[in-house]
Amino acid sequence: MDSPKNSEIDFDRLVIPDFSEIESDTFKKEVVIPYFKDIYKDLASRSDKKTSGINKITIIDYCQLPGILAERFFSLLDANNDEYIDLREFVYILFKVYYSSFDAQVKLVFDIYDFDRDGSITKEDVRIILSYIPILKETKDKMTKEGVFSQEGGGDENFETRIRIQEEISELLELAFKGKDKLSLEEFQKFNEHETSDMLVTVLTLLKDKLP
């Protein structure tokens, strides 16, 4: 993906990769893409190099993702590693978050966990990401649904809760890795399909909560 080099981006001629999961071409062209374009234009206008795209500081400030998650999300957006997010990169990832298939969303979250981009993830990769995700506030019914680590309104920060959450993360990792040092994308997907989708839903829930 090449960043825009012209002094003005021709938004009307932008071609976005086709996603079969979009309800219809009309919905995609008349609702989704214009909405994402408007957000992009606003964010790009705040950048130090407006014709290059959105810089890291602007993305991090806009998304308000906690800790390392902001860095990891920016690295996914910046597909060509030029330190700026062009319109194609921006829209492509937003489509993946909101409108892509289960397989595509699994790959998206897997890539967030995959710090060194070697096609596999370790326990520590997952532990680091989950440890930065806001904790769901307790209720009288003790939440047991998947994705408990990230829900809107999270923020139960007391020490005892933090310790318990770390223990739950460790239990989840033991279940997922089963003594292995690493998981491949295929193994990660199978675990989320057949065991529990906590590692997937937790991250997706937070992204959808923070993004437009």
* Helix (H/G/I), strand (E/B), else coil: 92: helix
Say what the pTM is. Answer: 0.77
Cα 205 vs. chain centroid, distance in angstroms? 9
- Residue 134: the pLDDT is 81
The CATH class, in words, for 11-99 is mainly alpha
- pLDDT interval class at 23 (50, 70, 90): low
11-99 and 102-210 have identical folds? yes
Question: Rounded CA gap, 48 and 54, in Å?
Answer: 8
Kindly state the helix (H) or strand (E) to which residue 132 belongs, with its residue range: none
- Cα 196 to Cα 173, 176, 191: the distances in Å are 11, 9, 7
CATH 1.10.238.10 is held by the domain 102-210: yes
- Cα 87 to Cα 34, 62, 101, 212: the distances in Å are 12, 16, 22, 15
- Residue 147: the pLDDT is 47
Sequence-distant (6+) residues with CB within 8 A of 66 are: 132, 133, 134
For residue 71, give both structure tokens.
């860095």
| Cβ atoms 203, 76 nearer than 8 A | no
Give bridge partners of residue 121 from the DSSP assignment: 183
* Segments of the chain assigned E as strands: 54-55, 84-85, 120-122, 182-184
Q: Taking the domains of the chain in order of start, what are their residue ranges?
A: 11-99, 102-210
Question: Rounded CA gap, 152 and 206, in Å?
Answer: 8
Q: Mind listing the pLDDT tens digit for each residue in 155-186?
A: 445 778 778 889 999 999 999 999 999 999 99
The stretch 125-130 carries a mean pLDDT of 95
Question: Rounded CA gap, 93 and 207, in Å?
Answer: 11
- Residue 157: the pLDDT is 58
